[in-house]
Amino acid sequence: MRECVRNDVQRNQRNFLILIVINTLLFASIYFMSVYEFNFYGFYHASLPNKQKQMMLIDYSGKFTSDQAVPLINTDQQMKKSKLFSMYEMYDQFIEWVHYSGPDKFGDGYEEGHFQGEKSVYQYNGKTYASTSIKSTQLSLNCFSKFSLQTDRGRGFQESDYNLHFGDTVPVLLGHEFTETYKVGDQFKALYLFSLFNFEVVGFLKEDSYIKQNGYGPASYLDRDVILPMFNITDSPKNQDDAFFRTLHYSNKTSCLLEYDSSVTAKEIAEELNRISSSNGLPEYQKYKVTEDGLAQISTNQMYRALSVGKWLVFFVCMGTFILLINRQIKAHLVDYTIYSLFMSYQKISLSLMLEMTACILASTFFTILIILALSKSLMYAGELLLSSGLLIVLLTVYIYFKMQHVDLKKYLVEGEQND
Amino acid sequence: MIEMKNLVKKYGGKVVFSNFSLSIQQSSIVGLYGRSGSGKTTLLNLIGGLDLPDSGDILVNHKKLTKSLSELADYRRTYLGIIPQSFALLNFKSAFYNIALPLIGKAGKEEIEKEIEILSEKLEINTLLKDRPTELSAGERQRVAIARAVITKPAVILADEPTSALDETTQSIIKDLFLQEQNRGCTIIFSSHNKTFGEFADKIIQLP
Ligand SMILES: Nc1ncnc2c1ncn2[C@@H]1O[C@H](COP(=O)(O)OP(=O)(O)OP(=O)(O)O)[C@@H](O)[C@H]1O
Ligand SMILES: [Mg+2]
């Protein structure tokens, strides 16, 4: 029988390779399609620690011009009012601390090795400041209870810290390591999103305080961060700079984490968000479902839909070609197997055909996994992929078994129908 | 001993055998004659288990022929030597491999080589063993198919027009081979258009 398989593989090498390529294409397209489809419809329920709640991360994707400020403010307020989800506003926009004299370790990029030290920074109105980029995180008030953030010196944030006007002093909390150099009541000036603010230290976070940007993802420690309230600033801007600042600030503010009940689907959340953003004339937010494996993009825009149809097309073309080729392969085999079956045992013949198909599917699965690794650097749904390959092998085995049970041997002999 | 009892074989509405009975003794040579389309191939296929009758029985050594495809394959493999009308050679393999096919896994390499040497000399194809069937003439291919059927020393040889592509000299080689096979106890059933080829047969069946 080894002879038999070897011959067929040899002779059908080209067919075999085509089959593997088509099969790989098919597997890969099914894979990527299901990944996107699942995200689109929110079928994928991540097995997260708290299964009652699901998480979605959203990102502003519109223009950064001053006329976007009011739509963004309205969007923020409408999102807050939605009954489908609650917002956790978290952003890690660094600040430009003017005349900073503290240790380097609080500098932005210090741990990553690209801390720049003091440099000249222009404000929009043309003034130049000697400033240093310092790590900073902006948090809404509900983040403090969500991540059990507590202060051990001074006070924590209050509701009133979140409603500011241009020109107000902004209260800040400092991470634990700042206690070595600063104290409650210290004030400093810094540019936050190109706008100059006066800041006052009102408290210090407990040691080892952390948040999780994705809700569940890895912890980011706040010991070296300046914590700003993710404040509201709704009074009319006095100048272009202030108007522009509000666009930047509210785009950060609405790029946030949403928490919603497991009884609601990601699709419903996505639709609600689209409704809000479009009613304010804003483009759709980028949406990522938080899964155990990381973030999975959820997309509902037109281009995505076109892409989705395209993928189905690829899927059907692949599927059709695959079935045709398999059939051709089996038929080509049958001619020779008929000849073999005059002199060889029947089971061995079916077995060798099944073995070949199995080899083909396994090879395709392997290549598909390589493609997935190359394209998405992760192996989400690899288990499902292997499972469906297994299923395909079983189906084909059954198909081949029945095909071999009903093969018309004489047809290939009497009519002299031969391969090649 | 092969017995056919009240065989009925139809293709759609076309009746090939309506009530056909025939008994073939062991070690006999039986020739099937008849016009084209008279059912010679059909009958050989029925005996070879390549086709099933609509009704009636085929008994081989008093045992009814099974309907299971895998058992039929075993029956062909162990009991028959089949020479199909279309030769049915593996075109991507050498003549040598084609002849050796039934012995693969059953006999050693040397034994196979020896058998093929003797047989191919007898059939005058010993210089062609390395060639592929596509490089051979029809007559040469036919002799490869004959060698392949004979090499296992089967109990029964089913030969569908085994000399259709052969000239008279070569036909007599086949005749000698068949007689030699008969001497060792083999039953041979062949079909032919050519009445002169059948002179050595023990029994002639004329299909209507
Ligand atoms: N698979 C089939 N489907 C339909 N009819 C068939 C089939 N095989 C054979 N027949 C018919 O059965 C009859 C007998 O065919 P068969 O091949 O046995 O003839 P034959 O005597 O071998 O002819 P030839 O001398 O041309 O080889 C013919 O009329 C043929 O058309
Ligand atoms: Mg015929």
Q: What is the DSSP letter of A237?
A: P
Is A100:A117 a contact under the CB 8 Å cutoff? no
CA of B40 to the centre of ligand 2 (A): 5
The answer to whether the CB of B164 falls within 8 A of the CB of B85 is: yes
Q: In the prediction, which pLDDT does A412 show?
A: 63
- Nearest Cβ partner for A410 among B45, B91, B102: B45
Pair B199, B163: CB distance under 8 Å: no
Verify that A262 and A313 share a domain, yes or no. no
Cβ within 8 Å, pair B77-A415: no
- Local confidence band at A77 (pLDDT 50, 70, 90 cut-offs): very high
Same domain, A155 and A141: yes
In a domain, A241, yes or no: yes
Closest chain A residue to B41, measured at CA: A414
Q: Are A404 and A332 in the same domain?
A: yes
CA distances from A388 to A199, A360, A361, A384, A394 (A): 58, 14, 10, 6, 10
Q: Is residue A222 part of a domain?
A: yes
Q: Give how far B48 is from chain A: nearest CA, Å.
A: 9
* pLDDT above 70 as % of chain A: 80
The arithmetic mean of pLDDT across residues A266-282, rounded, is 90
Q: Is the residue at A223 inside a domain?
A: yes
Name the average pLDDT for chain A: 81
Do A6 and A70 fall within a single domain? no
The dotted CATH code for B2-206 is 3.40.50.300
Residue A125 and residue A220 in one domain: yes
Parallel, antiparallel, or unpaired for β B187-192 and B29-33?
parallel
Whether A133 and A241 share a structural domain: yes
User: What total number of domains does chain A contain?
Assistant: 2
The backbone torsions φ and ψ at residue A163, rounded to the nearest 5 degrees and listed phi first, read -115, 100
Instruction: List the domain boundaries for chain B.
Output: 2-206
Confidence of residue B116 (pLDDT cuts 50, 70, 90): very high
Residues in chain A: 420
* A266 and A388 belong to one structural domain: no
| pLDDT score, position A87 | 94
- Lowest average pLDDT, out of A16-20, A242-246, B36-40, goes to A16-20
Domain residue limits at A42: 2-46+301-414
Q: Which of A363-367, A399-403, B175-179 has the lowest mean pLDDT?
A: A399-403
Hey, of A414, A417, A419, which one would you mutate to test binding to chain B, going by the most B CBs within 10 A of its CB? A414
Q: Is residue A290 part of a domain?
A: yes
Q: How confident is the model at residue A242 (pLDDT cuts 50, 70, 90)?
A: confident
Write down how long chain B is.
Answer: 208
Distance of alpha carbon A118 from alpha carbon A106, whole angstroms: 12
Domain final residue, candidates A262, A297, A332: A297
- A159 and A228, same domain (yes or no): yes
| Same domain? A260 vs A117 | yes
Q: Compute the distance from residue B37 Cα to the ligand 1 centre, in Å.
A: 5
Whether residue A420 lies inside any domain: the answer is no
For chain A, give the percent of residues with pLDDT over 90.
Answer: 36
pLDDT at A418: 40
List, for residues A195-228, the tens digit of each pLDDT value: 889 999 999 999 999 998 776 667 889 999 999 9
Rounded average pLDDT over A170-190: 95
Tell me how far apart the alpha carbons of residues A291 and A246 are, in angstroms, rounded to a whole number: 32
- pLDDT of A96: 94
Ligand nearest to the CA of B205: 1
Atom 6 in ligand 1: residue holding the nearest Cα: B11
Three-state SS string over A154-213 comes to ECCCCHHHHECCCCCEEEEEECHHHHHCCCCCCEEEEEECCEEEEEEEEEEECCCCEEEC
Do A345 and B104 make contact, defined as CB atoms within 8 angstroms? no
Residue nearest to atom 5 of ligand 1 (CA): B11
DSSP element (H, E) containing A279: helix A266-279
Over range A165-194, report the average pLDDT.
94
Which of residues A252, A267, A297 is at a domain's end?
A: A297
Q: What percent of chain B is predicted at pLDDT more than 70?
A: 100
Higher pLDDT, A126 or A36: A126
Who among A342, A343, A418 is closest to B91 (CB)?
A418
Residue A17 in this model has a pLDDT that exceeds 70: yes
Over residues A38-58, mean pLDDT: 57
> Is residue A153, in this structure, part of any structural domain at all?
yes
Q: Determine phi and psi for A63, rounding to 5 degrees.
A: -80, 155
| Residue A290 pLDDT exceeds 90 | no
Residues A81 and A6 placed together within one structural domain of the fold: no
**How far apart are alpha carbons A373 and A228 in whole angstroms?**
39
pLDDT above 60 (res B187): yes
Query: Is the predicted pLDDT of residue A284 greater than 60, yes or no?
Result: yes
When CB atoms are compared, the residue of B50, B91, B101 closest to A343 is: B101
Pair A333, A400 in one domain: yes
Task: Please indicate, yes or no, whether residues A160 and A77 belong to a single structural domain of this protein.
Answer: yes
Closest listed residue to residue A108, CA positions, set A86, A80, A137: A137
Instruction: Name the closest-CA residue to atom 10, ligand 1.
Output: B11
Q: Which residues of A38-56 are buried (b: 16+ CB within 10 A; e: fewer)?
A: bbbebebebebeeeeebbb
With an 8 Å Cβ cutoff, the interface of chain A facing chain B consists of 1, 3, 7, 10-11, 336, 338-347, 349, 404-405, 407, 409-410, 412-420
| Main-chain dihedrals φ then ψ at residue B55, nearest 5 degrees | -155, 175
Least confident of A67-81, A143-157, A341-355, B117-131: A341-355
Q: Please give the pLDDT value at position A197.
A: 93
Q: Which of A268, A297, A326 marks a domain boundary?
A: A297
